[in-house]
Amino acid sequence: MNSVRGIRLSTCAAGIGYQGRDDLVLIELAAQTACAAVFTQNAFCAAPVTVAREHLRSGAVRYLMINAGNANAGTGSQGLRATRETCRLLAEAAGCKATQVLPFSTGVIGEDLPIDPFARALPELLSKLSEDNWEHAAQAIMTTDTRPKLASRTIQLKSGEVRLTGIAKGAGMICPDMATMLAYLATDAALPVLLAQQMLDTAVADSFNNITVDGDTSTNDACVLVASGESGAAISALESADGRAFLKGLNEVCAELAEAIVRDGEGATKLVRIRVESAADMAEARAVAYTVAHSPLVKTALFASDPNWGRILAAVGRAGIDQLAIERIRIWLGELCIVSAGGRDPGYTEAAGCAVMAGDEIQLRIDLDRGSAQVEILTCDLSYDYVKINAEYRS
């Protein structure tokens, strides 16, 4: 992992939601750092999302503070008071304004956020800040994740070399409507805030917003891009050569992190790429892709390595597409055509279908023959362990 000049991190075991492991992260930003973010569209957004949105508008962000184990969502006015108090405590200890702190939480919904662990942990966090703590931070923000998720790039610009590093967490309650559960991206390039936001929105649309594990959008989803400018390499426009080069790197990092989330889906055994082609528009393409991806019958067939193509056909048919000409639709498992002319393709065999489904990576390709729009989303299968993990989540 590349360290990022102007960005320092620290972690500690605060006992907020876990015992015997780090569960609180502090990220310090250089004074001139530009900060862009996107947040969940869930109406029951968590208290830290509400406060982070408010503080982001004030500008001059100096700290990101993330706790794991307690989502501080569904906690009403008490949750807002607790979040604001944690920001005040950090501001007092660090010598900044409370509005310069963006708070984030992940974990169990509906439980009050304790304040005392923050007060006890802040001196340790401030004393341990280092540019080299990215891996520790990736581990500390985990909940049901089985492994940390990190990605890093070095990008060569005309004005110099810049670094881009990102971490993310997420394994369940993944169907983002902006980003993922939590993701943090940092660069030492110099970016104006509006350009950073434009780039983040673009990168998120084709990565974190194209994944689903279980169809549930979290109350706490957030994705943040910070640009310290410490490299001295400045990007002024998206259309410039440097702007395109940086966006390419940002897209790659976001895509890598998004795929890592799906690969680590709760109980997942298969990574599944669902590609819808020749749709009338993007809305139609996404509707078909997500209907297939969210079908419990399709997902359990994938887990069983059962080429039950009828489940896929049925999901496409109920995606709500007007005047769908079923005789023109073709569906493939990998390179194997399974549906054409309104039914099973004449060249399909069960043995060939089983061979494709036995892999740990599977592509479903659906050609609607209605236009030129296309989309690819990533999902996973639905296993026994998904039910077990979520049934026992609060046990």
Q: How confident is the model at residue 178 (pLDDT cuts 50, 70, 90)?
A: low
Tokens, residue 280: 């009338």
Three-class DSSP labels, 288-344: HHHHHHCCHHHHHHHHCCCCCHHHHHHHHHCCCCCCCCHHHCEEEECCEEEEECCEE
Q: How far is CA 13 from CA 25, 108, 121, 206, in A?
A: 9, 17, 8, 35
Q: pTM for this one?
A: 0.93
Q: In the annotation, is 180 catalytic?
A: yes
- Which pLDDT score, from 0 to 100, does residue 179 have? 55
Per annotation, catalytic residue among 83, 143, 180, 212: 180
pLDDT, average across residues 91-106: 98
Q: Give bridge partners of residue 363 from the DSSP assignment.
A: 273
Among 294-303, 321-330, 384-393, where is mean pLDDT lowest? 384-393
| CA distances (Å), origin 351, targets 281, 339, 354 | 35, 15, 5
Closest CA to 302 of 378, 374, 216: 378
Tokens of 218: 């979290």
Closest C-alpha among 378, 367, 380, 41 to residue 210: 378
Instruction: Give the pLDDT mean for 160-184.
Output: 85
Give mean pLDDT, residues 59-69: 96
Angstrom distance (rounded) from CA 71 to CA 106: 4
Two structure tokens written together for 161: 């070399």
What is the rounded distance in angstroms from the CA atom of residue 392 to the CA atom of residue 257?
26
- Give buried/exposed letters for 256-286 (b at 16+ CB in 10 A, else e): bbbbbbbbbbbbbebbbbbbbbbbeeeebbb
Looking at residue 267, what is its pLDDT? 85
Confidence of residue 217 (pLDDT cuts 50, 70, 90): confident
| Number of C-beta neighbours around residue 359 at 10 A | 13
In this predicted structure, the answer to whether residue 345 has a pLDDT above a threshold of 80 is yes
Question: Beta strand 361-367 with 330-333: parallel, antiparallel or unpaired?
Answer: antiparallel
Q: How many CA atoms lie within 13 A of 269 on its CB side?
A: 15
372, burial (CB in 10 Å: exposed 0-12, middle 13-18, buried 19+) = exposed
The mean of the pLDDT values for the chain is: 95
Domains of the chain: 7-263 (3.60.70.12), 271-391 (3.10.20.340)
Strands, E assignment, the chain: 7-12, 24-29, 34-39, 63-70, 101-108, 149-157, 160-169, 182-187, 222-227, 271-279, 330-333, 336-340, 343-344, 361-367, 373-380
**278 φ, ψ (degrees, to nearest 5):** 55, 40
Taking residue 65's Cβ as centre, other Cβ atoms within 10 Å add up to 24
| Pairing label, strands 373-380, 24-29 | unpaired
What pLDDT shows up at residue 180? 53
34-39, strands of its sheet edge to edge: 34-39, 222-227, 182-187, 160-169, 149-157
Residue 346: Cβ-neighbour burial (10 angstroms; 0-12, 13-18, 19+): exposed
Residue-level pLDDT at 379: 95
**Structure token digits, residue 264:** 């680590």
How is the beta sheet containing 336-340 ordered, strand by strand?
343-344, 336-340, 330-333, 361-367, 271-279, 373-380
Average of per-residue pLDDT across 330-356: 96
